[in-house]
Amino acid sequence: MTVADIADVHEIERSSFPVPWPAYAFRQELEMNRLARYLLVTAGEETVAYGGLWLMLDEAHVTTFAVLPGWRRQGVGGRLMVALMDLAGELRASVVTLEVRLSNEAARGLYARFGFRPAGIRPRYYSDNGEDALIMTTDRLDAPDSRRRLEAMRQRYGGTADGTGATP
């Protein structure tokens, strides 16, 4: 993702979240946050999904993840998660964590397919309605079960170990 992609990403953000990040937050992430990495999924010329992570020590933390509503339930989120997991591996992260709304069963199901499991609750995490966030984390990425699961997800959703399938 580059600064030139912010308008498209912000459109996905606004259509996906009740309290979207402002566009300038993405600019700051790209230009000033050395911990941040963002990926896009495109279909032709259209940006249809994006995700970001921060590498903090040996942990990759998924900070944001969204698919344009018209592209949901078509494997786009899975392809993006493959690319984010591959990126975490390239950055030598040992685990990946994220927060998700307790009510977001579709996202929780996707993350579970990738080996994320509940690790805790952040009470009243979401400012729009005070909903709790479920903290989810993976097992070690270098564990044999984790490697097998990611390879199965590559087969299911596409992409390769070099991150092909999402635009860095």
How far is it, in rounded angstroms, from Cα 77 to Cα 12? 13
- What residues act catalytically? 99, 111
The Cα 41–Cα 165 span in angstroms is 7
d(C-alpha 156, C-alpha 7), whole Å: 30
- Alpha-helical (H) ranges within 6-75 are 6-16, 23-32
Helix residue ranges per DSSP H, the chain: 6-16, 23-32, 76-90, 105-113, 144-157
In whole angstroms, what is the distance from residue 134 CA to residue 32 CA?
28
DSSP 86-113: HHHHHTT-SEEEEEEETT-HHHHHHHHH
